[in-house]
Amino acid sequence: MSEPESVPPVPEADPEAAAARRRAALRRPLWIAVLLLVLAAGALWVTSTMTWGATRVKPDATGAEVQPALVPMALFCVAAVAAAVALAGWMRRVLGALVVLAAIVVSRVVVAASPPAGAYAVALAGVLLMAAAGLLLLVRGAAMPRLGGGYQTPGAARRNADPERELWNALERGDDPTDRD
């Protein structure tokens, strides 16, 4: 058998398109984490509204009545969405660790309450979604884009050496780029 010939990598024809693809690839995990957190919040909220069975006080108690921690954990997931978008770097990783810890707490709370199978499945789905979002934030959090990261300060904009970009920056500032003083 002969070895397959290695093909040298083809240089990117359009460097701007390659940079746009890299930015989109970095942005994707952030929105995946946000979607996972929103779905986890929904699953935990739905679990809290499901009937879990009879208690000493009420014959058809809901999940929120049996385990009051479910609704605050759903709200925690919603707050984590805002925090994931607003934070950057190591703080986003800390948020990921907190979300993973919260998922562990929710799993213990649900197991301790021993809900019916349907509520248990929805709660387990919420826990798994929370854990997945937390792990994604923990592992990839520092590489994700930060809020307002696409904007430059005026000093940084002046240091830009690309004349094509300089024209666009002038238009964004409201200056007439054709007016040369």
Residue 61, beta-bridge partner list? 53
Tell me the C-alpha distance between 3 and 95, whole Å.
Answer: 48
Q: Find out whether 125 and 50 touch, Cβ atoms under 8 Å.
A: no
- The CA–CA distances, whole Å, from 81 to 30, 48, 74 equal 10, 20, 11
Q: What is the pLDDT of residue 180?
A: 63
Residue 19: predicted pLDDT: 64
Q: Which amino acid is at 125?
A: A
Report pTM.
0.69
- Alpha-helical runs (H) found in the chain: 15-49, 63-66, 70-86, 90-113, 117-140, 154-158, 163-173
pLDDT in tens, the chain (181 residues): 555 565 555 555 666 666 666 666 656 788 899 999 999 999 999 999 998 887 676 778 888 888 899 999 999 999 999 999 998 888 999 999 999 999 999 999 999 888 889 999 999 999 999 999 999 999 988 887 777 655 556 555 555 566 677 777 777 777 776 776 5
Structure token digits, residue 104: 């562990």
Q: Are residues 73 and 162 in contact, defined by beta-carbon separation less than 8 angstroms?
A: no
Residue 181 CA to residue 173 CA, distance in Å, equals 17
Q: Where are the domains of the chain?
A: 21-148, 151-181
87: closest CA among 22, 24, 21, 148? 148
Written as six digits, the tokens of 15 are 């460097």
